[in-house]
């Protein structure tokens, strides 16, 4: 089935059908209704490559490092809900944690003429992202580094870290550790989520006079990364009485390590996650977590991207989410030592 078949059945020109498909200006409601009805009747589906040659493929690429982080599911739900009534299709690239693998995935998306990209906390060097964004509309989620070439959606991670420290200190904790992702200076991102989170944590610890108790342990935001971090921290000469992590998925790994060591949460260890994913609210877990509105982040990113793709805005924007602490059963006062 071709565009010519659609035009013949509708009794209009192929140019008219093309205008309807492109949602072009100047198409009358009656023409749009007639062509749309024939498209539905014939089951016509435009060929993506052919559409790309004419200027738009109606595909949006979303880059993430892995599919096991439940927070990414919240972001993707927001993206999908925002685009649900549009012609755009979302294609996901789970590229792994390696910067080269992520860069290769981004290049593949560009080569396939995707109309725009949403990059979730990319590990790819900043220079390459800026080069990509100069030619392909791009939204970066997570990184606080603003740029003229791409839009950004971020959480006030320093504020979120402060909320956690304030909460734990109010319960009586002093030995509070942070488990944060590694990050890398080689990629030239100066204000990644983990850097901003760590800065907020250290500032809050200093504000409470607990600088000597502060410790940041670096681990991947995964169940395995959290487990390894938990085994290291909880078997130290002076283990923390409370641990906060930069992602719920890492907190669950620490939860598993505590269980293996015979420690109970929250009696022996208070634990706080970040993202407030659906996992945090599960009855056996009941994880205190920072909600950074993942669904809203995804929705905002999709909306901002389509504005750039369709030429409704040409200046870069940065949207910031305000975090809130959701208290559950994984935190309580520390036991006396």
Q: How confident is the model at residue 284 (pLDDT cuts 50, 70, 90)?
A: confident
Strand order of the β-sheet with 215-218 is 215-218, 176-180, 242-245, 270-274, 288-291, 324-326
Integer CA distances (angstroms), 315 to 26, 137, 308, in order:
26, 11, 8
What is the mean predicted confidence (pLDDT) over 288-307?
A: 96
Residue 53, pLDDT above cutoff 70: no
Residue 282, pLDDT above cutoff 90: no
Q: Name which residue leads in pLDDT, 40 or 173.
A: 173
Residue located via tokens 């944690």: 97
Q: What is the pLDDT of residue 182?
A: 83
Strand duo 116-120 + 270-274: pairing? unpaired
Q: What is the pLDDT of residue 87?
A: 86
Q: What is the pLDDT of residue 47?
A: 59
Give bridge partners of residue 62 from the DSSP assignment.
Answer: 92, 118
Percent pLDDT > 70 in the chain is 95
Residue located via tokens 């892995």: 66
Strand order of the β-sheet with 151-155 is 89-94, 59-64, 116-120, 138-141, 151-155, 318-321
The dihedral built from the CA positions of residue 217, 218, 222 and 228, taken in this order, carries a sign that is negative
Contact between 162 and 204 (Cβ < 8 Å) = yes
Residue 85, pLDDT above cutoff 90: no
What is the mean predicted confidence (pLDDT) over 262-272?
A: 97
- The single-letter DSSP state of residue 196 is H
Give bridge partners of residue 178 from the DSSP assignment.
Answer: 216, 244
Q: What is the pLDDT of residue 96?
A: 85
What tens digit of pLDDT does each residue of 103-138 get?
Answer: 999 999 999 899 999 999 999 999 999 999 999 999
Instruction: Tally Cβ neighbours within 10 Å of residue 115.
Output: 22
């Amino acid at each position: 089935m071709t565009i010519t078949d659609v035009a013949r059945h509708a009794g209009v020109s192929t140019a008219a059908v093309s205008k309807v498909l492109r949602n072009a200006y100047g198409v009358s409601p009656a023409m749009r209704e007639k062509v749309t009805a024939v498209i539905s009747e014939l089951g016509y589906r435009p060929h993506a490559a052919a559409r790309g040659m004419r200027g738009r493929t109606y595909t949006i690429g979303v880059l993430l490092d892995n599919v096991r982080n439940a927070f990414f599911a919240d972001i993707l739900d927001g993206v999908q809900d925002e685009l649900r009534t549009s012609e755009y299709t979302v294609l996901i690239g789970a590229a792994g944690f390696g910067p080269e693998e992520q860069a290769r995935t981004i290049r593949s998306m560009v080569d396939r003429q995707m109309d725009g990209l949403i990059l979730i906390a990319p590990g790819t060097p900043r220079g390459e992202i800026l080069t990509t964004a100069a030619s392909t509309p791009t939204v970066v989620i997570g990184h606080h580094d603003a740029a003229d070439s791409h839009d950004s959606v971020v959480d006030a991670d320093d504020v979120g870290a402060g909320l956690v420290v304030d909460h734990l200190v109010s319960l009586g904790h002093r030995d509070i550790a942070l488990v944060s992702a590694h990050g890398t200076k080689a990629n030239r991102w100066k204000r990644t989520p983990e850097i901003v989170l760590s800065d907020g944590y250290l500032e809050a610890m200093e504000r409470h006079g607990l600088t000597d108790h502060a410790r940041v342990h670096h681990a991947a935001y995964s169940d395995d990364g959290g487990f390894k971090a938990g085994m290291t921290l909880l078997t130290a000469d002076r283990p923390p009485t409370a641990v906060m992590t930069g992602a719920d998925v890492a907190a669950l790994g620490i939860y598993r390590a505590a269980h293996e060591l015979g420690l109970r949460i929250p009696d022996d260890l208070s634990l706080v996650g970040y993202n407030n994913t659906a996992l945090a609210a599960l009855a056996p877990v009941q994880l205190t977590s920072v909600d950074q509105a993942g669904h809203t982040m995804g929705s905002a990113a999709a909306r901002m991207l389509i504005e750039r793709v369709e030429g409704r805005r040409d200046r870069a924007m940065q949207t910031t989410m305000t975090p809130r602490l959701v208290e559950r059963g994984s935190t309580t006062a520390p036991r006396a030592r």
